[in-house]
C-alpha cells in the first residue's frame, strides 16, 4: 500500500519540548508540547497526510540520570528500554495535545502513537565508538565518576560535558506498513519516537534490543521512504541552513540541491552538531525518491512547505511539473 495525495513526515526535536536551562517538569513539557502543535494543525487543516517523528535527547538523558541516582534502590533500565519509555510518554503528550488542538480547530482527524522499532546493524561502527551526545550538561566531578564506571563523557561543540552513546544508522522501520495504513486513511501517526527503539535481527532469537539511540532525523527520512511520503519537514530551533553560521556575513541558504547539500556535509562546513545530521537526513530523503525536504523553524512549518521560509533541499533533477 502506498500513500496518495500530499504526504509529509514532520520531525520535531526533543529540545522543542524540553529546552535547555529550564526545569524539565512534565508540566513544562506539556506546555511546550501544546505550543508546538500549531504548524501540524495547520498542515492537517490543509489536507496533508501526516506522520510525526519526535526526538528524545533531553528526556532520555534525564532518564539515565534517574537510573544513576536510584541505582542502589532499583534495577537500572538499559538504554534501549529508556528509549521505548520516553517514546511512550512523549508520544502521549503529543497525541493528547494535538488531538485537543485539532478538535478546537473543528477537525475530526484522529491521532495515534505507534511504538516503533528501528532495525540497525549490530556491527555499525558507532557501536564500538559512541557518536551521539544525549542529555544535559554534567558537572566535572560527576563526569569523572561516570568515566570511572566506563561511561563515555566528552565535551560537546559548546564545551558542555555530556554522555556520548552509540547511534547506529537505521536500515529499516519494522512497523512502517502499519504507519502507511493509518496515515493513508487520514489518521495522524506519531511514530519512530526518539528515532525508534534500536533493534537488530538475531539469527536464532529474532529481534533483540540494542543499547543505543537512533538519530530521529535519519529515522524520519527512512520512515518517509518506506511509507512513500512526498515531503520531509524537519522543524528545529533555527530558521534554516546558513552559510557562515555564527559570523556577521551569515546567509540563509533558502534552496539547495542534493549535491550542494552533500558538498556542505563532505567539506565539514556544517560540523557534526545538530545541523549536520539534519542536512544529511534531507539529502538521504531526496536521493531516495522524496520530492523535497525542508528544514525550518518550529512555527514556520507551513511557510516552509510553501517555499517562503527555511531551507528546501531538492533532488538534483526536479520533475518538469514542479512541486505542489
Q: How many helices (H) and strands (E) does the chain have?
A: 10, 17
- The catalytic residue among 49, 278, 304, 310 is 278
* Residues in Cβ contact with 74 at an 8 Å cutoff, skipping those fewer than 6 apart: none
The 8-class DSSP code of residue 106 comes to T
- The catalytic residue among 15, 28, 67, 160 is 15
| 181 touches 192 (CB < 8 A) | no
Catalytic site includes residue 15: yes
- The catalytic residue among 14, 55, 80, 195 is 14
**Strand ranges (E), the chain:** 7-12, 49-54, 111-113, 117-120, 132-134, 153-155, 161-165, 170-173, 188-190, 197-202, 206-209, 231-236, 242-243, 251-252, 255-257, 292-297, 311-314
User: For residue 97, what is the enclosing H or E element?
Assistant: helix 79-104
Catalytic site includes residue 14: yes
- The catalytic residue among 55, 80, 132, 228 is 132
| 6 touches 230 (CB < 8 A) | yes
Catalytic site includes residue 247: no
- The catalytic residue among 49, 216, 240, 310 is 216
Catalytic site includes residue 132: yes
Catalytic site includes residue 73: no
Residues designated catalytic: 14-15, 132, 216, 278
Amino acid at each position: 500500500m502506498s500513500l496518495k495525495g500530499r504526504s509529509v513526515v514532520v520531525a520535531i526535536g526533543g529540545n522543542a519540548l524540553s529546552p535547555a536551562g529550564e526545569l524539565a517538569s512534565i508540566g513544562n513539557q506539556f506546555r511546550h508540547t501544546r505550543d508546538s502543535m500549531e504548524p501540524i494543525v495547520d498542515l492537517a487543516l490543509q489536507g496533508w497526510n501526516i506522520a510525526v517523528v519526535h526526538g528524545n535527547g533531553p528526556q532520555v538523558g534525564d532518564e539515565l540520570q534517574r537510573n544513576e541516582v536510584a541505582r542502589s534502590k532499583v534495577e537500572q533500565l538499559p538504554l534501549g528500554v529508556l528509549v521505548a519509555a520516553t517514546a511512550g510518554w512523549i508520544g502521549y503528550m503529543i497525541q493528547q495535545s494535538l488531538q485537543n488542538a485539532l478538535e478546537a480547530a473543528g477537525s475530526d482527524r484522529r491521532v495515534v502513537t505507534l511504538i516503533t522499532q528501528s532495525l540497525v546493524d549490530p556491527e555499525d561502527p558507532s557501536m564500538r565508538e559512541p557518536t551521539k551526545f544525549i542529555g544535559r550538561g554534567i558537572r566535572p566531578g560527576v563526569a569523572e565518576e561516570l568515566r570511572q564506571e566506563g561511561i563515555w563523557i566528552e565535551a560537546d561543540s559548546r564545551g558542555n560535558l555530556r554522555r556520548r552513546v552509540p547511534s547506529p544508522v537505521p536500515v529499516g522501520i519494522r512497523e512502517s506498513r502499519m504507519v502507511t495504513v493509518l496515515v493513508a486513511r487520514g489518521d495522524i501517526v506519531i511514530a519512530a519516537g526518539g528515532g525508534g527503539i534500536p533493534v537488530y535481527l538475531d539469527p536464532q532469537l529474532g529481534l533483540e534490543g540494542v543499547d543505543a539511540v537512533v538519530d530521529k532525523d535519519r529515522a524520519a527520512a527512512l520512515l518517509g521512504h518506506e511509507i512513500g511520503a512526498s515531503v520531509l519537514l524537519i522543524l528545529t530551533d533555527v530558521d534554516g541552513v546558513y552559510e557562515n553560521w555564527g559570523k556577521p556575513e551569515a546567509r540563509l541558504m533558502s534552496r539547495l540541491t542534493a549535491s550542494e547539500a552533500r558538498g556542505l556535509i563532505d567539506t565539514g562546513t556544517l560540523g557534526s552538531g545538530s545541523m549536520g545530521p539534519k542536512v544529511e537526513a534531507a539529502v538521504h530523503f531526496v536521493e531516495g525518491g522524496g520530492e523535497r525536504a525542508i528544514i525550518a523553524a518550529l512555527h514556520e512549518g507551513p511557510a516552509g512547505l510553501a517555499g517562503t521560509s527555511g531551507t528546501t533541499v531538492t533532488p538534483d533533477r526536479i520533475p518538469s511539473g514542479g512541486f505542489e
